[in-house]
Amino acid sequence: MKVLAAMSGGVDSAVAAARAVDAGHEVVGVHLALSRMPGTLRTGSRGCCTIEDSRDAHMVAGLLGIPFYVWDFSERFKEDVVDDFIAEYANGRTPNPCMRCNEKIKFAALLDRAIALGFDAVATGHYAEIRPSAEGTPELHRGADLNKDQSYVLGVLTPDQLDHCLFPIGASASKADVRAEATRRGFPVADKPDSYDICFIPDGDTKAWLSDKIPMRPGLIQDEAGEALGEHDGAMTFTVGQRKGLRIERPAADGRPRYVLGVDPQENTVTVGPQEALAVDELEGIRTTWAGPAPADMGRSEEAGIDCEVQIRAHSDPVPARAWLGEVRTEVPAAEAAPLGPVVPRPRPAGQVLRVAVEEPLHGVAPGQTMVIYRGTRVLGQATIDVSRSRARAS
């Protein structure tokens, strides 16, 4: 099989490429240049796709004896990931750029080009597994090392994409085993730190970065009753669940800390309240996709739904839930999108709506986050959280 190995310059993708070679595939390595500043340097564990990363990937490809190329996807990355990130924050949402990068870059733009060039599959260093279903179709499952499992950020993959994906290190028992293998192979990246945070904000200061991209204006920080408590310098830099940096002038009557409950970019207000007001037990998601066939037993009511688990962050624990399908929506004006809780209503794109009720309340759920639903280790699908509510508070 002809395989294109996406080589980020890290240890995981290096070992993944090596295992693809060992499996007898015809492997070609490619590094994606995503930064619009090609001279960007890496700072410890912050940032990725830098000039050092490109060089590291090239060295590993040389040791493996495989061809190596650098593909410039910086324009696509800016349009599909960076600009989307800015637009989401400008609309009061909290996006996940890693999900968008996997969806739009690594498994859309890259995979499309690979197939057009005659490759059969793209191999990456993700900790996830693809297993055949009883019918022989590919299913996406958690990686063997649950501490490193990356199936959450791959939840956007479609069945057609899974048909052309390889995750050679997904069955590895641990990251330590992958590093040990890299050492045995003589890879210079064996001890290279993992990258973290948002790759295009290498200093980690998201608020300052956004302040340069979105026009900011002062506004009110208010409580749930609308009483002014202080001022902010830009509503769009706040996110639901945030506690620090609120600069509230008056303490709460009970002396307890307050948290961001909602952000309204139109009114330029930030609503805060007690931690218990963050608890939600029902979610509604848009832009729904399925990592395989949609569950055949999922109906259009909670009673006709399915038992599953839902995960709302890459490193959070899944919680037991019930999932069912809402009505397929067409584009509607914001004024017609009825709010389910403290979340501000927004225009909703057309598509299938996924509704989830959790057995245990979730806290700090922000619109724009991704919810991924599982059955055991299998990823069923995902949706972008649009609204959330507490049934107890709504009744």
Q: Are 301 and 315 in contact (CB under 8 A)?
A: no
Average pLDDT value over all residues in the chain: 89
pLDDT tens sequence across 301-355: 999 999 999 999 998 999 999 999 987 666 544 444 333 333 344 455 667 899 9
The confidence band for 37, taking pLDDT boundaries of 50, 70 and 90, is low
Q: Determine contact, residues 180/136, Cβ cutoff 8 Å.
A: no
Task: Assign domain 279-394 to its CATH superfamily.
Answer: Translation factors (2.40.30.10)
Enzyme catalytic residues: 101, 199
CB count, 10 Å around CB of 299? 12
CATH 1.10.10.10 is held by the domain 215-276: no
41 pLDDT band (50/70/90 cuts)?
very low
pLDDT of 32 above 80: yes
Other Cβ atoms within 10 Å of 247 Cβ, number = 11
Task: Label residue 307 exposed, middle or buried (CB < 10 Å: 0-12, 13-18, 19+).
Answer: exposed
pLDDT surpasses 60 at 161: yes
69, pLDDT greater than 50:
yes
Considering the entire predicted model, what is its pTM?
Answer: 0.89
Highest mean pLDDT: which of 47-56, 184-193, 384-393?
A: 184-193
The per-residue pLDDT for range 80-122, each reduced to its tens digit, is 999 999 999 998 899 999 999 999 999 999 999 999 999 999 9
Domain boundaries, the chain: 2-184, 215-276, 279-394
CATH of domain 2-184: 3.40.50.620
